[in-house]
């Protein structure tokens, strides 16, 4: 079985055709594949709303089904639901930052909805020595700039200073791969989850960044939370569990079988977890 992608030409939405270049991985659930194929069938019949609903169901069944996201985003763009389409392509980038077709789509849609700075940011992520890179250059030119100028503008230091998490000045911490969850401890340390490299970074009050945790147990960290004892909790999106990291750095599995945990919040000894895969919020009592 092969993936399909919806390609939109300048004037019309092209037909989806079966291709032979990307093999469907075994991780895609059977029901998700069935919904995906139904989406293809509806698309070919011109029933775009029904097609979009099928791709949405495929994503619900397998939240990492990249081509289902791509087809859904392309249909929403065709239906002129630009903000919804942009949100879908952002989900692809979160899961696969080097999917430059999706990065380009995000740039185009950001420009459409008036988010010019974000459009420019996406353009800087695309390698310029590729076909997509040439299209990125053309889009930059349409915005009366070029990618080199955009990169220079984004690296100018005068608008940003390295900042202590506890002070009130503006600042930026750079070179963190796909940053997601954030949490601080009582000592002013900032912890940041890097989704793509499965790493938790620690930035101290002196603004020095270190790799705090990198383990094969971590796979797709998103939400972070911290309790009064300074234990850190990680929403381990791809492994469907919650990890606990004590203040000595020891990692253990706190909760298993949570479908794509996302955000977390702690209050009064209770840990709340949003489960993207099950469309629910889970409550868990700490220190049982």
Domains of the chain: 30-155 (1.25.40.10), 179-285 (2.120.10.30)
Query: String of b and e for 232-266 (b: at least 16 CB within 10 Å)?
Result: bbbbbbbbbbbbbbeeeeebeebbeebbbbbbbeb
Local confidence band at 5 (pLDDT 50, 70, 90 cut-offs): low
Judged against a pLDDT cut of 50, whether residue 10 lies above it is answered with no
Q: Chain-wide mean pLDDT for the chain? A: 82
Mean of pLDDT values over 1-18: 39
User: pLDDT tens digits for 149-165?
Assistant: 766 665 544 443 444 55
Local confidence band at 123 (pLDDT 50, 70, 90 cut-offs): confident
What is the reported pLDDT for 143? 84
Judged against a pLDDT cut of 60, whether residue 31 lies above it is answered with yes
Indicate the burial class of 169 (C-beta count within 10 angstroms; 0-12, 13-18, 19 or more). exposed
Q: Which residues contact 174 (CB under 8 A, 6 or more apart)?
A: none
What is the reported pLDDT for 17? 35
Percent of the chain with pLDDT strictly greater than 90: 45
Local confidence band at 126 (pLDDT 50, 70, 90 cut-offs): confident
pTM for the full model? 0.52
**Among 69-73, 125-129, 159-163, 170-174, the least confident range:** 159-163
User: pLDDT tens digits for 219-277?
Assistant: 999 999 999 999 999 999 999 999 999 887 889 999 999 999 999 999 999 999 999 98
Cα-flanking dihedrals φ and ψ of residue 92, to 5°? -65, -45
Residue whose C-alpha is closest to residue 287's, from 235, 204, 231: 231
User: How far is it, in rounded angstroms, from Cα 244 to Cα 196?
Assistant: 20
Local confidence band at 2 (pLDDT 50, 70, 90 cut-offs): very low
Mean of pLDDT values over 275-287: 92
- Compare 266 and 177 and report the one with higher pLDDT: 266
Mean of pLDDT values over 78-92: 91
Cβ pair 5, 22 in contact under 8 A: no
Residue whose C-alpha is closest to residue 207's, from 159, 166, 247, 246: 166
In residues, how long is the chain?
Answer: 288
User: pLDDT tens digits for 184-223?
Assistant: 999 889 999 998 888 898 898 888 888 888 888 999 999 9
- Compare 65 and 94 and report the one with higher pLDDT: 65
Strand, coil or helix: 31: helix
Judged against a pLDDT cut of 80, whether residue 6 lies above it is answered with no
């Amino acid at each position: 079985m092969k993936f399909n992608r919806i390609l939109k030409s300048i004037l019309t939405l092209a037909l989806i055709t079966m291709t032979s270049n990307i093999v469907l991985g075994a991780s895609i659930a059977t029901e998700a594949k069935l919904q995906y194929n139904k989406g293809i069938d509806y698309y070919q019949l011109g029933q775009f709303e029904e097609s979009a609903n099928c791709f949405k169901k495929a994503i619900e069944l397998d939240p990492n089904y990249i081509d289902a996201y791509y087809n859904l985003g392309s249909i929403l763009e065709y239906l002129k639901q630009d903000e919804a389409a942009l949100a879908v392509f952002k989900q692809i980038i979160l899961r696969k930052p080097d999917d430059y077709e999706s990065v380009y789509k995000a740039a185009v849609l950001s420009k459409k909805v008036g988010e010019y700075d974000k459009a420019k940011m996406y353009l800087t992520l695309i390698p310029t020595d590729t076909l997509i890179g040439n299209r990125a250059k053309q889009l930059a030119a349409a915005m009366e700039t070029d990618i080199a100028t955009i990169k220079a503008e984004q690296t100018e230091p005068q608008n940003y200073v390295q900042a202590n998490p506890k002070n009130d000045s503006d600042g930026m911490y750079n070179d963190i791969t796909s940053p997601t969850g954030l949490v601080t401890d009582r000592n002013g340390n900032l912890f940041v989850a890097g989704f793509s490299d499965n790493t938790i970074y620690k930035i101290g009050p002196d603004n020095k960044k270190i790799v705090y945790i990198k383990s094969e147990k971590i796979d797709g960290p998103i939400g972070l939370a911290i309790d009064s004892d300074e234990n850190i909790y990680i929403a381990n999106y791809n492994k469907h569990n919650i990890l606990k990291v004590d203040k000595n750095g020891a990692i253990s599995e706190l909760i298993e079988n949570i479908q794509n945990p996302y955000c977390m919040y702690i209050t009064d000894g209770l840990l709340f977890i949003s489960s993207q895969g099950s469309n629910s919020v889970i409550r868990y009592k700490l220190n049982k």
